[in-house]
Every structure is written in C-alpha cells, then in structure tokens.
Structure 1
Amino acid sequence: MSNTLGQQTPVKIHVTTNIYNGSNKESIEWVGFGQYLEKDGSSYVKYEEVIEEGTIKTIVKIAEHEGLILRSGAVKMRLSFLLNKKRNGSYETPYGTFLMVTDTKRLSFEKEAESLYGLIDILYDLNVNGNNNGTYHMTIQLKEEKEQA
C-alpha cells in the first residue's frame, strides 16, 4: 500500500498526550486538520498549530520501529523514537537549546487498509538536560476528511 508519488490526503487529527510524573498526571489535547502521506515506506502527518507566540509547523514521521517529530516556527523541537532504545533530540528556546532524550517503550501505527483511519501510539520516557521529565503517552488519531461539495 505504498504511495510512491507522496499524494497528500486531508485528515482530521486528534493528538492526546498524557504525561505521568510520579503521582501527577497532565493531559494535553489538540484537534485540528492536516495532511497525511506515505513515501518510501514511511507515513507522514503534517499539521500547523496557532498559539499566542505564532504558528508551529509539525511533521510526524512513522516507520516500522522508529519515529520522528519535528516542530518548527514558534517552537523548534526534534524528538526521535526508536523502539526499546534511547535517542537524542533537542528543544530550542530563546534561552538556549535543551538536550532531550527519549526512551521509547511502545511505537505503533495501526491503519485501516480501505480507508484512511489510523492511530499512532507512542509511549516513551523523556529526559531533559539530564533530568527525568516523566513518562509520555502520545496518541495521534487520523481520520480522512472527505471534501465538501
């Protein structure tokens, strides 16, 4: 089911991130629209968020046992995921760049063959500048957006 042309499909995106740090739990949700495409054996989700500080462009890349989240614009961040391995990433702020290390526990992308409905599931421990920042469970739900006539 590889699309070598990299044709983009409009999708509705629902991102949920649960952050567990000791007995504390924080949940962050975002719902919006973006694009989905497959290219060279990887799946890509692209979307933009508008926040007070400006626009954040996000690209999520998922392959068989690895993933990548790139954010640019008002937020500059690179998170890399490799199942059962630690990977280095970064988060840029006006005050400097922070080293981020992900330790990926679960990484999957389930997609229905006949329609574009999918779920990206990433569970990872996050370490920022040598400090444990908690366990993150991120899900990205995709649903194909049919164009309105």
Structure 2
Amino acid sequence: MPANAKDIQVQLVTEIQDQDRRETMEIEETGRFLVRGDTQVLTFTEHPEDGDPVHTMVTIKQEHVSIKRSGGVEMRQVFKPLMETENLYHHTYGDFHMRTYTKELDYTSLEESAQGRLFLDYTMTLNHEVTQAHSLTLTFEEESDS
C-alpha cells in the first residue's frame, strides 16, 4: 500500500429519473483513497447480489472525473462540467453506447474536510435512444482505528 493511501468507508447513492419514474441505488463498501500529485483516486469493490464483483476506480482531477468499472461490468465514464463525453458500457447483456452530459460537478477532498464528497448531476443517453437524468453522490471518510 502506498505510504499516503488511506482506508476509507464509501457510500455511493445513485438516482436515475425518467419521466415519472425514479430509481435509487445505494451501496456501502470499504475502499482506499490516495493522492498522487494533483490527482486523487478512490477505489472500492461492489458486491452485487446477482452478479460478479465490480471493481470501481474514481479518478478526480481539477478539470474532470473519471469512473472506471471492471469485473461484472466494464466501462470508463468521464465527467467534464458542461461537456458531453461518450463511452461503451460492456455488460453481460451486451454493449451499450453511452453519451453523458455533465451539468454539475462538485468535489470536497478528504484533505479539506473530515468527510470527502463527490456530487455529479448529469444526463445519460443509452444507445442514442433513452435519455435519463442521473445524480451520483459519493461520500467517504477515513476508517477509524477503533
């Protein structure tokens, strides 16, 4: 483990809304947080009930956030404020083309506060057809020794 890596507790809340339907997903996992120059990285592994573990790496830089997932699903999604990005989402049910437009990106680091927080508000279009409003709130804090 790198000298500046910290064990953290992660809470991830994702909301998806389209027309009259809202879906909320919440996970809590342990993970790692480390700083390398002007880049901050969070890693954790999701353990879904109905699939293989998904390893998640969130890379936070001044100008953008990147979320890379591998394992049960494969994707790399990039968030740049007021810009659109594209990527492929590889799932057991097939590949999906994703377009992401980031409306808001707000980040507070563990270096600034006892609890870190990443908030993303964005729209996502799957396969050029369905556009949904999404929000992602990732909160994390250093695990206590007790």
TM-score relative to the length of structure 2? 0.90
- What's 2:17 paired with? 20
Looking at structure 1, the residues matched to 126 and 85 of structure 2 have their Cα atoms a distance apart, in angstroms, of 12
Shift of 1:95: 4.7
Please tell me the root mean square deviation across aligned C-alpha atoms, in Å: 1.7
- What's 2:41 paired with? 44
Q: Contact 2:32–2:42 at 8 Å: present in 1 too?
A: yes
Looking at structure 2, the residues matched to 42 and 62 of structure 1 have their Cα atoms a distance apart, in angstroms, of 6
- What's 1:85 paired with? 83
Q: Calculate percent identity across the aligned residue pairs.
A: 24
Q: Contact 2:110–2:141 at 8 Å: present in 1 too?
A: no
Structure 2, unpaired ranges of 5+ = none
- The change in CA–CA distance for 1:19 and 1:114 in structure 2 (over 3 A counts) is closer
- What's 2:130 paired with? 132
Shift of 1:96: 3.4
Shift of 1:146: 1.9
Q: Secondary structure at the match of 1:147?
A: coil
Looking at structure 1, the residues matched to 141 and 78 of structure 2 have their Cα atoms a distance apart, in angstroms, of 24
List per-residue Cα deviations over 1:63-103 (Å, max 9, x = no partner).
12311110001111211111100001111124532111110
- The change in CA–CA distance for 1:65 and 1:132 in structure 2 (over 3 A counts) is farther
Looking at structure 2, the residues matched to 146 and 9 of structure 1 have their Cα atoms a distance apart, in angstroms, of 10
Q: Contact 2:119–2:135 at 8 Å: present in 1 too?
A: yes
Q: Contact 1:83–1:104 at 8 Å: present in 2 too?
A: yes
Looking at structure 2, the residues matched to 134 and 60 of structure 1 have their Cα atoms a distance apart, in angstroms, of 22
Structure 1, unpaired ranges of 5+ = none
Q: Does 1:8 align with 2:5?
A: yes
Q: Does 1:123 align with 2:121?
A: yes
- The change in CA–CA distance for 1:7 and 1:113 in structure 2 (over 3 A counts) is closer
Q: Count residues with an aligned counterpart.
A: 144
- What's 1:60 paired with? 58
Shift of 1:139: 0.3
Looking at structure 1, the residues matched to 35 and 131 of structure 2 have their Cα atoms a distance apart, in angstroms, of 32
List per-residue Cα deviations over 1:98-131 (Å, max 9, x = no partner).
1111100011211354654211000110011102
Q: Contact 1:115–1:144 at 8 Å: present in 2 too?
A: no
